[in-house]
């Protein structure tokens, strides 16, 4: 029987991912099978999980998914010895209005699965107050159990002692305390961590993190705090319809933001996926019946994309007879032009009239519920889709037919409607699940 734990924190940026990777690798080094999941709409962390465990990781999301879908996804951990769900933001952070089975908070997943929470706390600039924060999180919601805490970035032995004493007085277990250690810092950029596939030394970094954490954290105590768990039988899978039978998927450093569960669901439904690299000036598989451009970092490669005439002309030729869809960065590349951070305008594919600018940065972040006003690959007019939007680009022009009426999590209509022109469609949100 597997044992389940949730790794969370009071806020973002305190070390959840590093601890998750370190624990996973340290236990794997001991011969245990470790399965990871990511709570919430993050398409970067699962690749790090896979690098640490050797097993594919997927997202579970209480705002976009029902309990059956979540149970279906986590059932892949049935043969593992330990299952770790890494949270997003702070433990109770979600949206104001409840979605399918929750607000998207990590606490929803912890309560739903019955897994205790290990809190990562960074006590920088405080001492006993860290215990007050941990106690508040412990007592905030009755259905969420706190296993204990791991302190991160403690300044000195005296600092650690002050925090430990306060936590012990509050009845909260301390599994370990990590001094500052630059060698295990994961590099970041504007949309989160630099992707695992872009880091040649990621294996060594995870190994060092595992060594460091094993030296300072009681791995046996953390493991013993996990809840024994076996997956619930469910007839429900994922509400996902493939966009076609044979899908040409853009895949490289500029086009990599796609949820692993989506690709798995497409394949499970019988679809075939062939990948191609726009950065390598490749074109979609001519035998495919649909082309899908996921998000990523086209703003960092705009000049190269603009210069790859074979890719752009091949994509336009494909769209003459078959549908092409882009999500976020893929949507931007389907547009007329993309202005980079230096203010240089680069011509894109021109299948849509969208023009965006990364020089005029403005964060767009949040869950999206879209009702299609025009068809897109795999979905007809009226379909309701749940997704998530996260980018910093500003819309300069969005002249085409709106693809959907798009609401945020509070029900407010937003301006990022997506676009449709001919056989080309695009959205700024990344599809997570169909709303049935």
Query: Given pLDDT bands bounded at 50, 70 and 90, which one contains residue 189?
Result: very low
Enumerate the H helices of 218-356 as residue ranges.
219-224, 260-268, 302-307, 309-319, 329-334
Supply the pLDDT for residue 363: 84
Query: Given pLDDT bands bounded at 50, 70 and 90, which one contains residue 201?
Result: confident
The tens digit of pLDDT for each residue in 92-140 reads 999 999 999 999 999 999 999 999 999 999 999 999 999 999 999 999 9
Query: Given pLDDT bands bounded at 50, 70 and 90, which one contains residue 195?
Result: low
Cβ-contact 328, 293 below 8 angstroms: no
The verdict on whether 36 is a catalytic residue reads: no
Distance CA 208, CA 25 (A): 10
Identify the three-state secondary structure at position 118: strand
Q: What is the CA radius of gyration of the chain?
A: 22
Cβ-contact 391, 354 below 8 angstroms: no
The tens digit of pLDDT for each residue in 230-246 reads 887 665 677 789 999 99
The tens digit of pLDDT for each residue in 162-173 reads 999 999 999 999
CATH of domain 3-228: 3.40.50.300
Distance CA 107, CA 126 (A): 25
Cβ-contact 21, 46 below 8 angstroms: no
Closest among 382, 390, 389 to 435, alpha carbons compared: 382
Identify the three-state secondary structure at position 84: strand
44: pLDDT strictly greater than 90: no
Supply the pLDDT for residue 184: 52
Residue spans in the chain of domains classed CATH 3.40.50.300: 3-228
86: pLDDT strictly greater than 90: yes
Supply the pLDDT for residue 235: 59
Catalytic site residue from 117, 328, 337, 404: 328
Second CATH level (architecture) for the domain 246-434: 3-Layer(aba) Sandwich (3.40)
Going by the DSSP 8-state scheme, the letter that residue 320 receives in this structure is T
Distance CA 193, CA 362 (A): 19
Cβ-contact 178, 154 below 8 angstroms: yes
Supply the pLDDT for residue 186: 60
Model confidence pTM above 0.85: yes
Distance CA 326, CA 413 (A): 21
286: pLDDT strictly greater than 80: yes
Mean pLDDT of 387-408: 95
322: pLDDT strictly greater than 90: yes
Residues of the chain with pLDDT > 70, as a percent, come to 95
Burial class for 306, CB neighbours closer than 10 Å (0-12, 13-18, 19+): buried
Mean pLDDT of 171-190: 75
Query: Given pLDDT bands bounded at 50, 70 and 90, which one contains residue 294?
Result: very high
11: pLDDT strictly greater than 50: yes
Mean pLDDT of 136-148: 98
Pairing of strands 117-121, 82-86: unpaired
198: pLDDT strictly greater than 90: no
E-assigned strands of 303-407?
A: 324-327, 337-339, 345-347, 355-357, 364-372, 384-391, 394-397, 401-402, 404-407
Residue spans in the chain of domains classed CATH 3.40.50.880: 246-434
Cβ-contact 299, 358 below 8 angstroms: yes
CB atoms within 10 A of CB 245: 13
Supply the pLDDT for residue 360: 80
User: What does pLDDT average to over the chain?
Assistant: 94
List phi, psi (to 5°) of 329.
-60, -35
């Amino acid at each position: 029987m597997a044992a389940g734990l949730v790794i969370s924190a009071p806020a973002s940026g305190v070390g959840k991912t590093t601890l998750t990777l370190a624990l996973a690798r340290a236990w794997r080094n001991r011969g245990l099978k470790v399965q990871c999941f990511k709570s919430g709409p993050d398409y970067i962390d699962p690749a790090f999980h896979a690098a640490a465990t050797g097993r594919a990781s997927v997202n579970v999301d209480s705002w976009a998914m029902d309990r059956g879908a979540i149970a279906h996804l986590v059932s892949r951990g049935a043969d593992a010895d330990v299952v770790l769900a890494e949270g997003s933001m702070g433990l109770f952070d979600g949206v104001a209005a409840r979605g399918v089975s929750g607000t998207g908070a990590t606490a929803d997943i912890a309560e739903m699965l019955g897994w205790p929470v290990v809190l990562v706390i960074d006590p920088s600039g405080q001492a006993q107050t860290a215990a007050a924060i941990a106690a508040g999180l412990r007592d905030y919601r009755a259905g969420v159990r706190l296993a204990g805490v791991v302190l991160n970035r403690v300044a000195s032995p005296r600092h650690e002692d002050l925090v430990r004493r306060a936590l012990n007085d509050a009845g909260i277990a301390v599994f370990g305390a990590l001094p500052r250690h630059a060698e295990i810092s994961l590099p970041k950029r504007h949309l989160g961590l630099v992707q695992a596939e872009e880091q040649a030394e990621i294996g060594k970094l995870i190994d060092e993190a595992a060594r460091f954490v094993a030296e300072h954290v009681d791995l046996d105590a953390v493991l013993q705090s996990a809840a024994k768990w076996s997956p619930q039988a469910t007839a429900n899978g994922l509400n996902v319809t493939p966009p076609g039978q044979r899908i040409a998927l853009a895949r490289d450093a500029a086009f990599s933001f796609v949820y692993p569960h989506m690709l798995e669901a497409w394949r499970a439904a019988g679809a075939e996926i062939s990948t191609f690299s726009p950065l390598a000036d490749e074109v979609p598989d001519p035998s495919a019946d649909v082309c899908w451009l996921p998000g990523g970092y086209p703003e960092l490669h705009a000049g190269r994309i603009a210069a790859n005439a074979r890719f752009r002309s091949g994509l336009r030729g494909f769209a003459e007879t078959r549908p092409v869809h882009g999500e976020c960065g893929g949507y931007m590349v389907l547009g007329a032009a993309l202005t980079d951070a230096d203010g240089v305008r680069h011509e894109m594919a021109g299948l849509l009239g969208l023009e965006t600018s990364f020089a005029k940065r403005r964060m767009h972040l949040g869950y999206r519920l879209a009702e299609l006003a025009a068809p897109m690959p795999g979905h007809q007019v009226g379909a309701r889709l749940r997704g998530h939007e996260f980018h910093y680009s500003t819309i300069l022009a969005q002249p085409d037919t709106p693809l959907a009426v798009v609401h945020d999590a509070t029900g407010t209509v937003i301006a990022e409607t997506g676009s449709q022109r001919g056989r080309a469609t695009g959205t700024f949100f990344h599809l997570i699940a169909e709303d049935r």
